[in-house]
Amino acid sequence: MKRILASSLLLAMTPVVALRSAPALTQKPEVAKVSLKVGDVAPDFSLLSDQWKTVKLSDYRGKKNVMLAIYVLAFTGG
């Protein structure tokens, strides 16, 4: 069976404040300026990998499907 060709990219982020322990947490969704939807062209990005190499979304154009997994608290298992 063929392996899935999709490349998985993981954005690991550590929040400034631990979500679980934060009291009176109120989300302010207006900070997000763009809400993408299915069918939209994904904006290109250029980010540093864990190997200190620049990874661009456009590098995969015409070659592979891409799965982005955006994870906060990646280091904590949260």
Binding site for other proteins (CB under 8 A): 2, 4-17, 19, 22-45, 47-53, 55, 57-58, 60-72, 74-75
Amino acid at 55: V
User: Rounded to an integer, what distance in angstroms lies between the CA atom of residue 17 and that of residue 9?
Assistant: 24
Least distance (Å) between residue 46 CB and other proteins? 8
Least distance (Å) between residue 54 CB and other proteins? 10
CB 31 within 8 A of CB 41: no
| Token pair in block for residue 62 | 């015409």
